[in-house]
Amino acid sequence: MKWIACELHTHTLHSDGRQTLQELAEGAAQLGFDAIALTDHNTMSGLVGKEEVEREYGLIIVPGMEWTTFYGHMVTIGLSEYADWREAMQQDIDRGIESVHRLGGIAGLAHPFRVGSPACTGCFWEYEIGDWNAVDYIEVWSGTFPSIQTDNHRAYRLWTDKLNEGYRIAATSGRDWHVQSDTDEPISVTYLEVGDAACAKQDGSDIQADIEKGASESEQESFAIPEVALIQALREGRASVTIGPLLSMVLEAAGESYRIGSVLPVTKMNESDEKMTATITAKLSVDFSVRPGQWSLAEQTFKLKLCSNLGEEIAVNVIDSTQQSNDTGTLHPKFETSIELPVLPTDLFRKWLRAELWGTVQGAHTRIAFTNAVYFESTAEGGAD
């Protein structure tokens, strides 16, 4: 499996951005991104000629469009063609989401709590969603240094509420990138996990390496492979979001591994059954070596937390006294640890679990990274449900 660094919310001068696709791609490549989604407002015309730009900058460009409507902005990516944003009624966004799905795309709520009209027209999410199962993702971190923004806190809480209600929804970041400009604020990355098969072409070579080398024209079709794989990864919630190190988590139970986005079956036994105490181990890793030179954090002890519908379950220190900043060009450590999840009393049930990394960034105590959830599914047995 491989993590792909993505920027999922961008604009060009085909809507109200002040950059061409070339300028955007160049900027993204310089920041160490492997992929971007172009999500211009209400148009896909900026994607014309994207294959050439992909080759030039060694970057995957996923087609998309931000539905920029009167009652909310909805980021849609991975579509084969245009879906009409103008039909969306406040009580009937479900039909809009359906039209996106029909075209092979996925849909997410963009910056759902950003102040709306007249300050930012339609920016606040005011659609009534009939079926939250249809929502693929929520952009819980919008803009630069997103983790300290109060509107993003609300989005993060909405995501958590929906997980608690039992929905399986992914969470992403998006810079809502309109212009090339330097910023001192931390830039967030959504890492999507794709299988090795998606990265390998038929001849067994690495497609990422190929893109970087500049694949020949006859190999053009192969670019479609990781694009679809990225959409599938996000659809399934194989995502980890960060303003620095890459945080990942795998749960192990009864000899099986469950990666982020997957479903761990939990058999409910009779209260007296010994198997009730079967353990689940969380294998966690914080990789400080990603996107070398692109971010830095002050020397400190980070806090790694495991959170679920039951609240914060466990917190451990991540001590990395020498090299948690990766701007030195030296070898960089990967912090790894295994944590056994507490065995729950019989009246409590874990619906989902995610990892969060906390620390101090530019003087603010904040989330630095979070994984998407692993879900738990109760498979009733012996009438114990």
Partner 1 sequence: MNALKLLDTQGRVTPEDSRTHIRIPFELNTSCSRLNFRFEYAPKVLEDREQAVKLLQDSYEIYILPEQREQANARAERHLPLKNLITLSLDDAQGYRGACHRHDPLQELFVSQHEASPGLMAGEVAAGSWNVTLSLHCIVTDICDYRLQIWTPEEADA
**Residues forming the site for partner 1 (CB under 8 A):** 12-16, 40-46, 48, 68, 70-71, 82, 84, 86, 113, 115-122, 124, 150, 154
- Cα three-residue angle 28-33-172, rounded to 5 degrees: 105
Nearest distance in Å: CB 121, partner 1: 4
Q: Which residues of 128-162 are buried (b: 16+ CB within 10 A; e: fewer)?
A: ebeeeebbbbbbbbbbbbbbbbebbbebbebbbeb
Parallel, antiparallel, or unpaired for β 256-259 and 246-253?
antiparallel
Q: How far from chain centre, in Å, is Cα 379?
A: 28
Nearest distance in Å: CB 79, partner 1: 12
- Comparison of 20 and 294: residue with beta carbon closer to partner 1: 20
- Comparison of 3 and 113: residue with beta carbon closer to partner 1: 113
Instruction: Spell out the SS3 assignment of 164-207.
Output: HCCCCCEEEEECCECCCCCCCCCCCEEEEEECHHHHECCCCCEH
Nearest distance in Å: CB 363, partner 1: 19
- Comparison of 45 and 270: residue with beta carbon closer to partner 1: 45
Nearest distance in Å: CB 118, partner 1: 5
Nearest distance in Å: CB 200, partner 1: 35
Say if residues 270 and 384 touch (Cβ distance below 8 Å). Answer: yes
Beta strands in 288-346 (DSSP E): 301-308, 311-319, 334-340
**Given the structure tokens 């929502």, which residue do they identify?**
135
- Comparison of 139 and 210: residue with beta carbon closer to partner 1: 139
Nearest distance in Å: CB 86, partner 1: 6
Nearest distance in Å: CB 41, partner 1: 4
Nearest distance in Å: CB 151, partner 1: 9
Q: In whole angstroms, what is the distance from residue 121 CA to residue 268 CA?
A: 49
Nearest distance in Å: CB 223, partner 1: 21
- Comparison of 20 and 285: residue with beta carbon closer to partner 1: 20
Sheet containing 256-259: which strands, arranged edge to edge? 256-259, 246-253, 280-287, 334-340
- Comparison of 16 and 381: residue with beta carbon closer to partner 1: 16
Nearest distance in Å: CB 169, partner 1: 22
Say if residues 19 and 47 touch (Cβ distance below 8 Å). Answer: no
- Comparison of 77 and 368: residue with beta carbon closer to partner 1: 77
Q: In whole angstroms, what is the distance from residue 125 CA to residue 109 CA?
A: 7
- Comparison of 121 and 220: residue with beta carbon closer to partner 1: 121
Q: Which two tokens stand for residue 329?
A: 């060009």
Most distant CA pair in the chain: distance in Å?
65
- Comparison of 118 and 255: residue with beta carbon closer to partner 1: 118
Among residues 61, 62, 45, 41, which one has the least CA distance to residue 53? 61
**Which amino acid makes up residue 154?**
R
**Which H or E element spans position 101?**
helix 93-102
Report the DSSP beta bridge partners of residue 152: none
- Comparison of 16 and 271: residue with beta carbon closer to partner 1: 16
